[in-house]
A and B are shown apart, each in its own frame.
Chain A
Amino acid sequence: MNKLLLIVSCAAVTMLPRIIPFFASSALSRLPKFLRKCMILLPVAALGALIFPLALTDFGPMWYAGLVGVITAFITSLLKGPMILAIIIALVSTTGMLVAFPL
Chain B
Amino acid sequence: MHINGKEIREGLHDGSPIFLGYFTTALAFGLLTRTSGFTFVEGVLTSMITFAGSGQFLMMNLYNAGSLLLSIIVSVFFINSRYIFMASSLSQRLADPSSIPGRLMCGFGTVDEVFTVASFKGRKLSYSYMAGLIFISYIGWVSGTAIGYLGGTFLPDVVQKAAVITVYAMFASLLGGEARRKLKAILVASLSALLNSLLILVAGLSTGLSFLISMISATIFGALIYTDKEVGIE
Q: Contact: A51 with B223, CB < 8 Å?
A: no
- From A42, which residue of chain B is reached at the shortest CB distance? B89
Chain A residue numbers with a CB within 8 Å of B168 are 50-51, 54-55, 58, 66, 69-70, 73, 90
Per DSSP, chain B at the interface is helix
Among B147-203, those with CB < 8 Å from A are: 158-159, 161-166, 168-180, 185, 188-197, 200-201
Chain B residue numbers with a CB within 8 Å of A72 are 169
1/0 per residue, CB under 8 A from B, across A28-64: the answer is: 1100011011111111111111111111011100000
B106 at the interface (CB under 8 A from A): yes
Chain A interface size, as a band, is 35 or more
Q: What count of chain B residues pass the 8 Å CB interface test?
A: 98
- From A37, which residue of chain B is reached at the shortest CB distance? B223
Per DSSP, chain A at the interface is helix
Report the separation of the CA atoms of residues A96 and B48 in the bound assembly, to the nearest whole angstrom. Answer: 34
B20: shortest Cβ distance to chain A, in Å? 7
Q: Contact: A14 with B176, CB < 8 Å?
A: no
Name the one of B161, B165, B219 contacting A55, with C-beta atoms under 8 angstroms. B165
Report the separation of the CA atoms of residues A98 and B157 in the bound assembly, to the nearest whole angstrom. Answer: 10
